[in-house]
């Protein structure tokens, strides 16, 4: 159980929606995953057993549940925690905002103080976490994005090729009947453009669902990844599909212009 001073600025409680949560002045603030494992909700009571010191056992009210993204802890007011433990005004740690000019001197002083067990620099922790995330996730994410782009381009191009193969004789017949190359091209590519436009919203929905499933499967006791889909993601997706459709249209247009009209005239119905 972490005891914090209500209204503190250096250690803030942030939920999955990036909203600030206040430290309850009475009762416990449980993380969502811990509340789920204990099968409790706001308004219920839990038994807290202290495993050191006087080993008190207390019934505590669950004041609220937070959808946090890191850890599986419980938080309460520092004053209430000290009162429960019967230890008076006791601290096990402190968060400091340090002037960069005096940072080195402060670290030397803290290191030379026997009563201080250790010092953790926030920037180092954040940098290490970001390096770990970058190493473990960015490679796989990059590969998945590249494969997704290749698959999207392949689907659009193969769809256009299949349509041309199925209707090649019909399109050639239209050319024999007097339709121009541009008219025949617009007839086939217009249909493909309509199918592509109708498929984009369906792709958005399925992609969002797949992203939610991946985020859900990555959840652990250490951290939970919030699902954040930016507008630029949808713009990038449309750009990839539009580029694939344009290149496919150019390739199919070239094949339409090379249709064998003589073979159609020789065909016996």
Say whether pLDDT at 264 is over 60. no
Identify the band that residue 205 occupies on the pLDDT scale cut at 50, 70 and 90: very high
* C-alpha closest to that of 73 among 38, 109, 25: 38
Q: What integer is the mean pLDDT of 220-232?
A: 79
Phi/psi for 61 (5° steps) reads -85, 135
CA 87 – CA 90 distance, rounded (Å): 6
Say whether pLDDT at 265 is over 70. no
Q: How many CA atoms lie within 13 A of 230 on its CB side?
A: 4
pLDDT tens track for 16-38: 777 777 888 778 888 888 888 88
179: left (phi over 0), alpha (psi -120 to 50) or beta: beta
Structural domains of the chain, with CATH: 2-96 (2.40.40), 124-266 (no CATH)
Q: Which of 7-11, 26-30, 42-46, 143-147 has the lowest mean pLDDT?
A: 7-11
Say whether pLDDT at 163 is over 70. yes
Considering the entire predicted model, what is its pTM? 0.62
Q: What integer is the mean pLDDT of 139-146?
A: 84
Query: How far is residue 202 from each of residues 23, 59, 176, measured CA to CA in Å?
Result: 43, 51, 38
Identify the band that residue 268 occupies on the pLDDT scale cut at 50, 70 and 90: low
Q: What integer is the mean pLDDT of 49-74?
A: 81
Kindly report the average pLDDT of the chain as a whole number: 81
Task: Please state whether beta strands 74-77 and 28-31 pair in parallel, antiparallel, or not at all (unpaired).
Answer: antiparallel
* C-alpha closest to that of 215 among 207, 206, 223, 224: 224
Q: Which residue has the tokens 């057993």?
A: 49
Identify the band that residue 260 occupies on the pLDDT scale cut at 50, 70 and 90: low
Phi/psi for 191 (5° steps) reads -65, -45
Written in H, E and C, the secondary structure of the chain is CEEECCCCCCCCEECCCCCEECCCCCCEEEEHHHHHHHCCCCCCEEEEECCCCCCCEEEEEEEEEECCCECCCEEEEHHHHHHHHCCCCCCCCCCCCCCHHHHHHHHHHHHCCCCCCCCCCHHHHHHHHHHHHHHHHHHHHHHHHHHHHHHHHHHHHHHHHHHHHHHHHHHHHHHHCCCCHHHHHHHHHHHHHHHHHHHHHHHHHHHHHHHHHHHHHCCCCCECCCCCCCHHHHHHHHHHHHHHHHHHHHHHHHHHHCCCHHHHHHCCC
Retrieve residue 35's tokens: 């509340």
pLDDT tens track for 87-112: 777 778 888 888 888 888 888 888 88
Burial class (CB in 10 A: 0-12, 13-18, 19+), 31: buried
CA 42 – CA 137 distance, rounded (Å): 35
Retrieve residue 48's tokens: 């807290």
């Amino acid at each position: 159980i972490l005891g914090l001073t209500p209204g503190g600025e250096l250690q803030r409680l942030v939920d999955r929606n990036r909203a600030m949560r206040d430290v309850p002045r009475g009762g416990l603030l449980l993380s969502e995953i811990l509340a789920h494992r204990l099968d409790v909700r706001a308004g219920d009571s839990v038994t807290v057993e202290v495993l050191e010191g006087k080993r008190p056992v207390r019934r505590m009210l669950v004041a609220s549940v937070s959808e946090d993204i890191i850890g599986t802890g419980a938080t309460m007011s520092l004053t209430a925690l000290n009162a429960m433990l019967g230890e008076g005004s006791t601290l096990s740690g402190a968060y400091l905002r340090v002037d960069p000019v005096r940072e080195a001197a402060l670290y030397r002083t803290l290191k030379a103080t026997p009563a201080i067990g250790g010092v953790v620099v926030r920037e180092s922790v954040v940098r290490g976490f970001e390096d770990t995330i970058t190493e473990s996730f960015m490679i796989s994410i990059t590969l998945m994005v590249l494969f997704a782009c290749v698959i999207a381009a392949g689907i659009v191009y193969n769809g256009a090729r299949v349509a041309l193969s199925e209707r090649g004789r019909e399109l050639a017949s239209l050319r024999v009947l007097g339709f121009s190359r541009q008219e025949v091209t617009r007839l086939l590519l217009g249909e493909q453009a309509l199918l592509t436009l109708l498929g984009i919203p369906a792709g958005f929905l399925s992609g969002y669902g797949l992203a939610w499933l991946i985020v859900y499967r990555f959840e652990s006791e250490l951290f939970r990844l919030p699902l954040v889909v930016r507008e630029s993601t949808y713009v990038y997706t449309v750009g990839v599909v539009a580029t694939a459709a344009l290149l496919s249209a150019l390739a199919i247009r070239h094949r339409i212009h090379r249709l064998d009209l003589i073979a159609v005239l020789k065909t016996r119905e």
